[in-house]
């Protein structure tokens, strides 16, 4: 214990604290996958970052949530796929401060790992696992404040790959998508499990008691996490339901507007990434409806919100980012497509500005992107970290280096890295590693 305290003190002396805020939930403070952090060591990231600490974790795609010097991470037990756990680490030293473990009910693909990023607010940690176990934990101790077994209580619908979504906390409520009841409609049995055509709902619970506050039954996806944005001066919850893009009032759950991809000539199912919102513009990835092979039904749509109406601004059938969410910097939209090409579009016009294959190898499900002050930090399927300066005319790739090692289990690089206070956090199915990118004082 004395040795650990001495190490903590030494770290504080060599690298004085310079709080860069928090990364308290899915995609960061603004739900946009962008860090405004400056002063970090870009060269070290490109040429081989120094490992600060490493922790053993379970399988999963969940990104870390960071608040008040602590890191929170959800995983599936690699030795027992019917067990999940939440871990809390010291952000600088990597010491495990607590761990909460629990059994889960069967999902259609029980071996699929947890994918929901924790949300941390007001001293509590909110998690939603692969079988719709919604937990509220004490952020300091990991003690259970309340728990809702939504699969049993709603009842919920098991789904292919389990539930891969992140809870959203706003104004005293925690909001999650859910599949409710035994809804009819087309199912994806041949693909490994059911994909219900109806029965989706966004549900808000009181953060203190777990009591249901409101329910919107306009639809929901089990794989796309909702985001919160201010659109036309109104806080709006935006969610890709699998058939429409939904804008919801987070206070009462009422639908403000919808956008139908099929009306724009695009597909509308298997939406797994999250939308990107800038001002009154919403960018949504649209994958083709399952079983459809028609060209042009998959792509990206950008629409404008006007009151309770939506208006298509542009669409691109050339770029479909099924799993990985895009990010905007300096008026330009960036992200990987399903073939591993890194694209850049003008946000307002949809004009393709440039593309490159020099930022790693990603497939249909791979790749993870973070933009930090105009620099892309992206992990590819080979678990290499690529660093590139993003410009209007192209990307200047500064380097690529292996940051994680393969551990089997299929797609391992679905998790975007997180950069906070000069520390870069990366994970795959078995490893969680923190790299030191803090610029040392001369």
Look at residue 183 and tell me whether its pLDDT is greater than 50: no
Number of domains in the chain: 1
**pLDDT (mean) for 424-431:** 89
Residues 6+ apart with CB under 8 A from 291: none
Cα end-to-end distance, the chain, whole Å: 31
> What CA–CA distance (Å, rounded) separates 140 from 58?
21
Q: Cα separations (Å) of 359 from 332, 336, 340?
A: 17, 9, 8
DSSP per position, 224-244 = ---EEEEETTEEEEEEE-SS-
Domain of residue 200, residue span: 22-436
- pLDDT reported for residue 8: 38
pTM of the model: 0.90
pLDDT, one tens digit per residue, over 234-246 is 999 999 887 889 9
CATH number at residue 258: 2.130.10.10
The token pair at 380 is 């590819």
In a domain, 194, yes or no: yes
> What CA–CA distance (Å, rounded) separates 96 from 114?
19
In a domain, 163, yes or no: yes
In a domain, 1, yes or no: no
In a domain, 54, yes or no: yes
Mean pLDDT of the chain: 84
Q: Across-strand partners of 302?
A: 283, 314
In a domain, 271, yes or no: yes
- pLDDT reported for residue 4: 35
> What CA–CA distance (Å, rounded) separates 91 from 96?
10
- pLDDT reported for residue 2: 37
DSSP per position, 65-116 = EEETTEEEEEEE-TT-TTEEEEEEEETTT--EEEEEEEE----TTTTSPB-P
- Closest Cα to residue 30, out of 227, 257, 182? 227
Cα 13-438-420 angle, rounded to 5 deg: 110
Look at residue 284 and tell me whether its pLDDT is greater than 60: yes
> What CA–CA distance (Å, rounded) separates 134 from 146?
8
> What CA–CA distance (Å, rounded) separates 232 from 257?
12
Q: Are 389 and 375 in contact (CB under 8 A)?
A: yes
- pLDDT reported for residue 344: 95
Residue 181 CA to chain centroid, in angstroms?
26
In a domain, 17, yes or no: no
In a domain, 375, yes or no: yes
In a domain, 8, yes or no: no
């Amino acid at each position: 214990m004395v040795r650990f305290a001495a190490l903590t003190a030494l770290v504080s002396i060599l690298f004085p604290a310079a709080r860069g805020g928090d990364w308290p939930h899915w995609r960061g403070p603004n739900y946009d996958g962008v860090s405004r952090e400056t002063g970090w060591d870009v060269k070290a990231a490109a040429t081989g970052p120094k490992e600060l600490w490493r922790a053993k974790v379970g399988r999963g795609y969940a990104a870390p949530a960071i608040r008040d010097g602590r890191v929170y991470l959800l995983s599936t037990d690699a030795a027992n796929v019917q067990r999940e756990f939440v871990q809390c680490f010291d952000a600088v030293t990597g010491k495990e401060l607590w761990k909460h473990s629990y059994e889960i009910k069967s999902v259609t693909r029980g071996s699929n790992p947890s994918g929901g990023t924790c949300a941390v607010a007001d001293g509590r940690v909110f998690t939603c696992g692969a079988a719709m176990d919604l937990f509220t934990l004490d952020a300091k101790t990991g003690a259970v404040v309340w728990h809702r077994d939504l699969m049993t209580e709603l009842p919920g619908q098991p789904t292919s790959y389990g539930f891969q979504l992140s809870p959203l906390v706003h104004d005293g409520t925690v909001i999650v998508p859910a599949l409710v009841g035994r809804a009819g409609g087309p199912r994806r049995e041949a693909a490994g499990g059911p994909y219900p055509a109806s029965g989706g709902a966004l549900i808000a619970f009181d953060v203190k008691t777990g009591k249901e506050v409101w329910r919107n039954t306009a639809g929901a996806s089990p794989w796309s996490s909702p985001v919160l944005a201010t659109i036309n001066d109104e806080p709006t919850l935006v969610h890709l339901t699998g058939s429409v893009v939904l804008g919801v009032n987070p206070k009462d759950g009422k639908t403000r507007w919808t956008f139908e991809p099929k009306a724009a000539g695009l597909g509308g199912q298997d939406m797994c990434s999250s939308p990107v919102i800038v001002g009154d513009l919403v960018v949504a990835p649209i994958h083709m409806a399952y079983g459809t092979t028609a060209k042009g039904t998959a792509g990206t749509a950008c629409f404008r919100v006007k009151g309770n109406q939506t208006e298509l601004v542009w669409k691109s059938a050339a770029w479909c980012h099924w799993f990985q969410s895009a990010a905007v910097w300096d008026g330009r939209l960036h992200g990987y497509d399903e073939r591993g090409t890194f694209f850049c579009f003008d946000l307002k016009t949809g004009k393709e500005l440039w593309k490159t294959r020099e930022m790693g190898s990603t497939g249909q499900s791979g790749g993870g992107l973070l933009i930090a002050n105009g620099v892309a930090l992206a992990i590819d399927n080979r678990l290499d970290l690529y660093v590139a300066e993003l410009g209007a005319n192209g990307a200047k790739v500064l380097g690529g280096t292996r940051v994680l090692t393969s551990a089997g289990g299929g797609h391992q690089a679905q998790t975007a890295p997180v950069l906070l206070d000069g520390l870069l956090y990366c994970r795959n199915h078995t490893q969680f590693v923190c790299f030191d990118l803090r610029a040392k004082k001369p």
